[in-house]
Amino acid sequence: MTKHVWFAVLILVFAAPLDAQSLLYRGPNMGGTWVPDAGVVQFNFLHRFYVGPAPSHFVDNHPTFTLAAGLGHAIAFGGWFATKSVAGTGAGAQSSNETQVFVRWRPVGMEGKEGFSLALTPAYNLLAKSIDGELGVDWTRGMLTLQGAARGVSRELGVRGERQVALAGGVVARLTQYIGVSADLGSFVAPVNGRAAWSVAIDLLIPGSPHTFSLQASNATSATIQGASIGYAPTGLTRVLYGFEFTIPLHLSRFAPWFHGSPKPVVLGSPAGAAIAAEVAMASMKFGSETVTIAAGQAVRWTNRDPVEHSVTFDGAEQGSPIIPPNGSYIHRFDKPGTYTYHCTPHPFMKGVVIVK
């Protein structure tokens, strides 16, 4: 992975809000019932590695990239790009590029909500020239989510290119708000062809972010409808791949400054009749001066230098700021001596203190 990709990932970790597709509600080989909100593009990357035998110990990477855009009304469209898929069996199944485009409609429920969710995913597999589809159901109660999927395929990847039906099921158990474990199993069943695809994973929500991460073992080399239905067994032996997935929701409205320049400065709070005795910049997801000291009757001005919204929210009874947009500032006068600790509501890890003497 190159440096600038990691940089982009770090920016996104801090730039996006909390609603998003979550691996704490989906097994690694399950399509799930998630649909991004309108104006959100979901980008997930999955890498699975196979380590060859001695003496070479070559490493094969089998990635699948997911890109899907929410259109509203619980509808999304997108694609899976498996750049080293070996889904299928026999000659013709080996490929370096399995692309599948899909539409998803979720008429019932919502990922992460208690109860039933149901999603329909019609798709087209460009490599197999196959019309594929999935009916996915989730049932969530407390720490548990059970998943099931029925999949149909008009031309299976591989020699015979025949119609296929696959079934899959999985379970996710959330041990805490941040940590889950999951397992799933899926196979072509009509007719049974090739190995069943299986996976197990530890799923992690990165605190204070919309991002989830999983560490996984599986025998499937792609996450398309066909790829998630067959295990990788090139010599008849089951092979285990180890890997990870990372989920990134991109909120398109956050890119607006690229096209519209910097937002106009706005001033919030009560500027009248207060001497500004301290300035605090909000930059790089931090309060520039973590502690400032002023006298009673004086004011502090906070200025947002980040491309994301912040707030000044006091931990005590003191009235704090509304959301401060990029380029916005907030002035607050302190009338009583005391120690005022505060944080940013969108980013609770941002903390500061005002000491009033």
Nearer to Cu ion, 95 or 303 (CB): 303
Task: Give CA–CA dist 132/120, Å, rounded.
Answer: 11
CB contact burial 221-230 (16+ within 10 A = b; e otherwise): bbbbbbbbbb
Closest CB 213 distance from Cu ion, rounded Å: 22
Question: In the structure encoding, which two tokens stand for residue 106, read together?
Answer: 């979720």
Determine the interface stretch with Cu ion among 11-19, 25-33, 138-146, 302-310 (rule: CB under 5 A): 302-310
Determine the interface stretch with Cu ion among 132-140, 189-197, 238-246, 347-355 (rule: CB under 5 A): 347-355
Q: Return all residues near 3 (Cβ < 8 A) that are at least 6 apart.
A: none
**Residue 310 interacts with Cu ion (CB under 5 A): yes or no:** yes
Closest CB 322 distance from Cu ion, rounded Å: 13
Please count the residues of this chain forming the interface with Cu ion, following the rule CB under 5 A.
5
Closest CB 346 distance from Cu ion, rounded Å: 5
Instruction: List phi, psi (to 5°) of 184.
Output: -155, 165
**Residue 254 interacts with Cu ion (CB under 5 A): yes or no:** no
Closest CB 342 distance from Cu ion, rounded Å: 11
Cα 310 from chain centre: 22
Nearer to Cu ion, 337 or 348 (CB): 348
DSSP characters for 150-210? Answer: EEEESS-SBSS---EEEEEEEEEEESSSSEEEEEEEEEEBTTB-SPPEEEEEEEEEPTTSS
**Residue 347 interacts with Cu ion (CB under 5 A): yes or no:** yes
Nearer to Cu ion, 288 or 297 (CB): 288
Determine the interface stretch with Cu ion among 56-64, 198-206, 292-300, 306-314 (rule: CB under 5 A): 306-314
Task: Give CA–CA dist 304/221, Å, rounded.
Answer: 45
Closest CB 21 distance from Cu ion, rounded Å: 23
Q: What is the CA radius of gyration of the chain?
A: 25
Q: In this chain, which of 227, 346, 352, 356 binds Cu ion, going by CB under 5 A?
A: 346
Nearer to Cu ion, 232 or 287 (CB): 287
**Residue 307 interacts with Cu ion (CB under 5 A): yes or no:** no
CB contact burial 299-331 (16+ within 10 A = b; e otherwise): bbbbbbebbbbbbbbeeeebebbeebbbbbbbb
Place of tokens 């296929």: 164
Closest CB 343 distance from Cu ion, rounded Å: 8
Task: Give CA–CA dist 184/228, Å, rounded.
Answer: 10
Q: In this chain, which of 157, 331, 344, 356 binds Cu ion, going by CB under 5 A?
A: 344
Nearer to Cu ion, 208 or 297 (CB): 208
Nearer to Cu ion, 56 or 284 (CB): 284
Determine the interface stretch with Cu ion among 107-115, 137-145, 158-166, 305-313 (rule: CB under 5 A): 305-313
Task: Give CA–CA dist 83/330, Å, rounded.
Answer: 49
Nearer to Cu ion, 293 or 345 (CB): 345
> Which residues contribute to the site for Cu ion (CB under 5 A)?
310, 344, 346-347, 350
